[in-house]
Amino acid sequence: MSIESIISEFAGIAASPAKQLANYKAEGKKVIGVLPYYAPEELVYAAGMVPFGMWGTNDKGISLSKEYCATFYCTIAQLDLEMLLDGTMDQLDGVITPTICDTLRPMSQNIRVAMAKLKKMPTIFLAHPQNRKPAYGLKFCVDQYTNVKKALEEISGAPITDDALKNAIKVYNASRVARRDFVKLANEHCDVVTPTKRSAVLKASWFMLKDAYTEKLVALNEELKKLPDCDWKGTKVITSGIICDNPALLKIFEDNNVAIAADDIAHESRAFRVDVPECDDPMMALAMQFANQDYDVLLYDEHSSENRRAEHIVDLVKENGAQGVIVFMQQFCDPEEMEYPYLKKALDAAQIPHIKLGIDQQMHDFGQAATAIQAFADVLSMQK
């Protein structure tokens, strides 16, 4: 298959998750919704079910969820509840609600109450430990994952064996490797893998069984490797934030010859930068993977009084030939907003130019963002 046809398949799936959900149900599969962040999807896969990412949507207004949410919740959380209330996600067989931030904690209870009241689907509560590296943190994490495992076994009707979980870990690690390879190749061939295409390929992973996804992505990576070196005349940036999957916003990058060299986005690279150790105790291995997640403002950083995300982003700029950073600030996201001054300080100290764009999934007019990106692209190209 050609590069264009593989990317267009991924783009179709990224644009129509509801269709993808209906297809899995038509095949007789059980599907579990998975909210952000760091849910051990491997358990769902090992139970023979389909994990289905829920990161809000760019295509829906907020109406029914207002009955449950304060207006200052981010749109990711509000729209996830909206889709659970308005029937979009009625075909799910259950939903996992991690509780890493101060919005997701109450939202997990809103979802639990709403789903029970409407008799829609079981909800699976997941609390990760903040102290995730010490032995007691690992044990807490294993306990929590064991609760999730039991709830999934009830939904699937069969036990999750260690062998099935070890296999799921292998499948997911292979998928992470393929996505990391793709991100590198997308940088090397940024004339072909534009920001909208890059986003669509990575977004599709949330709605596909990982073995099928990886097979297609490896085929795409092989085709990309055959391309001649790209002589990119535009500029390159690192993107950072929670999510940036709006094609209209990413098209502005393309209109201004701005390529994405690498990212520190929760919906993208933060979700696949750490593999699960392949060892004899697969539940502990999942907990160890969570413990090994670093450089994320949502997670307590025991190595430093200031979160080391900035350190990571400065490295990404240097290692990937970028000239600047674009920070997507999700409206009403306290963790990202509170950490921004440290990030700004570190980028200024490293003399790396950046801009911050406030976004949410209800935005349809990107006029201000277009002006800011155009001006930033001009600044970066003068520095090249």
Determine the Cα–Cα distance for residues 264 and 262; give it in Å rounded to an integer.
7
Pull the structure tokens for residue 10. Answer: 């991924």
Give strand ranges (E) for the chain. Answer: 31-34, 50-53, 94-98, 123-126, 235-241, 258-265, 324-330, 354-359
Minimum distance from CB of 334 to ligand SF4 (Å)?
6
Comparing CB distances to ligand SF4, the nearer of 36 and 40 is: 36
Closest to ligand SF4 by CB, 208 vs 298, is 298
Nearer to ligand SF4, 10 or 290 (CB): 290
Q: From the CB of 108, what's the least distance to ligand SF4, in Å?
A: 11
Q: Closest CB to ligand SF4 among 79 and 200?
A: 79
Provide the minimum distance between the beta carbon of 101 and ligand SF4 in the complex, in angstroms, as a whole number: 3
**For ligand SF4, the closer CB: 77 or 287:** 77
Task: Report the distance separating Cα 211 and Cα 170, nearest Å.
Answer: 10
Closest CB 73 distance from ligand SF4, rounded Å: 7
Q: How many angstroms separate the CA atoms of 40 and 282, rounded?
A: 11
CB closer to ligand SF4 out of 252 and 333: 333
Q: What is the smallest separation between the CB atom of 237 and ligand SF4, expressed in angstroms?
A: 21
Residue 97: closest CA among 177, 23, 4, 116? 116
In the complex, least distance from residue 91 CB atom to ligand SF4, rounded to whole angstroms: 23
Query: In angstroms, what is the minimal distance from the CB of 239 to ligand SF4?
Result: 15
308 three-state secondary structure:
coil
Site residues, ligand SF4 (CB under 6 A): 36, 74, 76-77, 101, 103-104, 242, 298, 330, 333, 335-336
Outline where DSSP puts E strands in 23-146: 31-34, 50-53, 94-98, 123-126
Q: Residue 84's closest CA among 58, 51, 117?
A: 117
Encoded amino acid at 114, one letter: A
Q: Which residue number, 47 or 111, has a Cβ lying nearer to ligand SF4?
A: 111
Burial string for 296-319 (b: 16+ CB within 10 Å, else e) reads bbbbeeeeeeebbbbbbbbebbee
Quickly count: other Cβ atoms within 10 Å of residue 168's Cβ. Answer: 26
